[in-house]
Amino acid sequence: MTADIILSTRDLTIEFKGFVAVDGVSLDIRRGTIHALIGPNGAGKTTCFNLLTKFLTPTKGTITFKGNDITALRPATVARLGLVRSFQISAVFPHLTALENVRVALQRKRGGSFDFWRSERVLRALNDEALNLLDAVGLTDFAALPAVELSYGRKRALEIATTLALDPEMLLLDEPMAGMGHEDVERIAALIRRVSANRTILMVEHNLSVVASLSDHITVLARGKVLAEGNYATVSSNPAVIEAYIGAGHA
């Protein structure tokens, strides 16, 4: 295995009561690239993410991250190693303010998160950093609002800011732009491009123009199996890919 492969899987498989959702998937993701994982609904993309981040345990196969076998690790451990995910359904902490959402992520790295005897005033030291992250996703004016009161698109933006707060080496984004308006899509696309400068991104996205413009490499998944791989031009002209998308009712 070459040194510039940050994450790879071999024969990754998971079976739910006889239904094979991910079937013998082998991926190699190069360090520093934006890699897109696409495919029709139900192809197994989210399940793949759950496997990579250890939210699910594979029936068989191995996962290697930065040269270490992480197949047997726990999800929180994988996150601490620098492989951090976002969720398809916007995952924020609804009763914390936008600022607190980001700060919770910053707090994990700072340590002292078990200090139940200290005042939360010590967390104010993280406010500036948190505000800068909110600023990057255009949420400065909403910093003091509980996340539950944000619009859907802003919740997604908050989720990205929270994920970026960990400054992870590798980001897994599950449909980061789903449900966003046109303007937001562009802002987030620009943000993803900007933050990809010094990290690796694996992204699930249905918006194919975003995929085309952002990604260096694409893997197409259908019915749990890898159908095609390559750059956008190669993949989009592959008859099997066109077939899979049309078969699943996509254009």
Ligand X SMILES: Nc1ncnc2c1ncn2[C@@H]1O[C@H](COP(=O)(O)OP(=O)(O)OP(=O)(O)O)[C@@H](O)[C@H]1O
Smallest gap from Cβ 43 to ligand X, in A, equals 4
Assign residue 22 a region (left: φ > 0; alpha: ψ between -120 and 50; beta: otherwise): beta
The structure tokens listed for 22 are: 């991910």
- Dihedral angle of Cα 221, 81, 194, 148, to the nearest 10 degrees: 80
Q: If contact means CB under 5 to 8 A according to the sort of partner, which of ligand X, other proteins, Mg ion, none does residue 132 touch? A: other proteins
Q: What span, in angstroms and rounded, lies between the C-alpha atoms of 59 and 166?
A: 30
The structure tokens listed for 187 are: 């802002």
Nearer to Mg ion, 86 or 107 (CB): 86
Q: Is 74 in the site for other proteins (CB under 8 A)?
A: yes
From residue 237, alpha-carbon distances to 40, 111, 217, 232 in Å are 16, 49, 14, 8
Q: Is 61 in the site for ligand X (CB under 6 A)?
A: no
> Is the CB of residue 65 less than 8 Å from the CB of residue 227?
no
Q: Per-residue string for binding with ligand X, 78-117, x by CB under 6 A?
A: ----------x-----------------------------
Q: If contact means CB under 5 to 8 A according to the sort of partner, which of other proteins, Mg ion, ligand X, none does residue 145 touch? A: other proteins
Q: What span, in angstroms and rounded, lies between the C-alpha atoms of 160 and 155?
A: 9
Strand partners, 84: 171
Q: Is 19 in the site for other proteins (CB under 8 A)?
A: no
Nearer to other proteins, 115 or 243 (CB): 115
Q: Is 115 in the site for other proteins (CB under 8 A)?
A: yes
Binding site for other proteins (CB under 8 A): 53, 55, 74-77, 79-80, 84-87, 91-96, 99-101, 103-105, 107-108, 112-120, 122-123, 127-128, 131-132, 135, 140-141, 143-145, 162, 166
